[in-house]
Amino acid sequence: MTIQWFPGHMAKARREVTEKLKLVDIIFELVDARIPVSSANPMLDEIIHQKPRLKLLNKADMADKEITKEWISHFSSEGQKALAINSQEGIGLQQIVKAAEEVLKPKFDRLKAKGVKPRAIRAMIIGIPNVGKSTLINRLAKKNIAKTGNTPGITRSQQWIKVGKELELLDTPGILWPKFDDQEIGYKLALTGAIKDTILNLHDISIYGLKFLEKHYPGRLMERYNVGEIPEDIVEIFDIIGELRGSLRAKGEVNYDKVAELVVRDIRSLKLGPLSFDIPGEEEIPPEE
């Protein structure tokens, strides 16, 4: 099945990103640390071509730390520099400039050899909705104040934020929508709050979540819902949860809608602890188009 949720937006976003790309030296690709593959835009490579890129795994506080480490080494083995950050609390942000300098060293060395005076790195943030783009921009801007005016000779409408002496960041991020053929990615996006529940069926999302927990985090699943043993048919957990919590029943019957909602809410709100839904070696690779 092909799901294409935002076709009109996508074309517009793509044009905008392509336009802004000319202004920067490097892309900061913001992904969700819980789903660093599923929250990446499959068309980004095609859009940015050879433009240098730094991958930022945001919301690292909500992801499984060990899995995040594995992802960082995985990306590094593919020649892709990546950092884990928490934009909300400003953790890991001080490494961004250094990492960007590292990625851009070959280009800046070439310019230096030609006698071009060193200048600040120009960057823009790109990511899917809700991944934390504004939070990161605000964090970087607050810490380093000075929003610059228009940059003459480039474009009148672009605002740059100065981050120390070394970095200038476009104040508006590039938004790219998720677009893929795989429903599993849809469930992962829904479980992490990147897309609204209403796009997919809440029951399907919760069942996917439970099955995922059963496979990767069985101990936490059992502990959270007080089940001694995971039933063969995971759907039976709905009954167990419903029986345990009086509030999820009406006239003695389990209200499955409420149970599904509870499970999804629990997963999103860290009630089961930090979770990663993309597991290295098991990742779904979004098809290129």
Ligand X SMILES: Nc1nc2c(ncn2[C@@H]2O[C@H](COP(=O)(O)OP(=O)(O)OP(=O)(O)O)[C@@H](O)[C@H]2O)c(=O)[nH]1
Judged by the rule CB under 6 A, the positions of this chain that interact with ligand X are 58-59, 61-62, 86-88, 127, 129-135, 175
Using the minimum distance from each CB to ligand X, give the nearer residue, 13 or 221: 13
Residue nearest to ligand X (CB): 132
Q: Which two tokens stand for residue 259?
A: 């149970």
Least spacing, CB of residue 139 vs ligand X, in Å: 9
Least spacing, CB of residue 153 vs ligand X, in Å: 29
Q: What are phi and psi of 22, to 5 degrees?
A: -65, -20
Using the minimum distance from each CB to ligand X, give the nearer residue, 244 or 270: 270
Least spacing, CB of residue 65 vs ligand X, in Å: 14
Helix (H, G, I), strand (E, B) or coil at 147: strand
Rounded to an integer, what distance in angstroms lies between the CA atom of residue 55 and that of residue 254?
44
Using the minimum distance from each CB to ligand X, give the nearer residue, 86 or 225: 86
Using the minimum distance from each CB to ligand X, give the nearer residue, 129 or 280: 129
Rounded to an integer, what distance in angstroms lies between the CA atom of residue 85 and that of residue 91?
6
Task: Identify the CA nearest to 167 among candidates 75, 95, 91.
Answer: 95
Helix (H, G, I), strand (E, B) or coil at 81: coil
Using the minimum distance from each CB to ligand X, give the nearer residue, 33 or 259: 33
Q: Dihedral of the CA atoms 112, 116, 121, 123 (nearest 10)?
A: -120
Question: Which residues, in sequence order, are bridge partners of residue 54?
Answer: 28
Helix (H, G, I), strand (E, B) or coil at 215: helix
Task: Identify the CA nearest to 208 among candidates 224, 231, 225, 190.
Answer: 190
Least spacing, CB of residue 234 vs ligand X, in Å: 27
Least spacing, CB of residue 62 vs ligand X, in Å: 5
